[in-house]
Amino acid sequence: QTVVTQEPSFSVSPGGTVTLTCGLNSGSVSTSSYPSWYQQTPGQAPRTLIYSTNTRSSGVPDRFSGSILGNKAALTITGAQADDESDYYCLLYMGSGISVFGGGTRLTVL
């Protein structure tokens, strides 16, 4: 069974830079996985940050960027702010119409 892996938690200092990753338990993530990233705060619907590896969704600040690092997708937040403290989820396309979410990363800004 395909499992999408994310760091369960991460911490960053205000103004700092953090890179969250999204991998597969078997195989590599590539642009063909169409990796996308979502931010979610408690009680709210997810907000799309990045799609198709590195395209920012409308209205998303440019301190959020997406890439492929090695065999994983990555979300980098540069100049972290207090309101970036959220849960972050990646979504990968597996082919044959199927997508799978990662388990999410809880980001703390302190």
Partner 1 sequence: QVTLKESGPALVKPTQTLTLTCTFSGFSLSTSGMRVSWIRQPPGKALEWLARIDWDDDKFYSTSLKTRLTISKDTSKNQVVLTMTNMDPVDTATYYCTRISTSLNFDYWGLGTLVTVSS
Of 6, 31, 28, the C-alpha closest to 18 is 6
Q: Residue 10 or 34: which CB sits closer to partner 1?
A: 34
CB of 101 to partner 1, least distance (A): 4
Q: How many CA atoms lie within 13 A of 90 on its CB side?
A: 33
CB of 79 to partner 1, least distance (A): 25
Residue 75's identity, in one-letter code, is: L
Binding site for partner 1 (CB under 8 A): 1, 34, 36, 38, 40, 45-48, 51-52, 55, 57-58, 89, 91, 93, 96-104
Q: Residue 16 or 61: which CB sits closer to partner 1?
A: 61
Q: Residue 82 or 97: which CB sits closer to partner 1?
A: 97
Pairing of strands 105-109, 9-12: parallel
Residues, the chain? 110
Task: Output the six-digit token pair for 14.
Answer: 């205000």
Q: Residue 91 or 109: which CB sits closer to partner 1?
A: 91
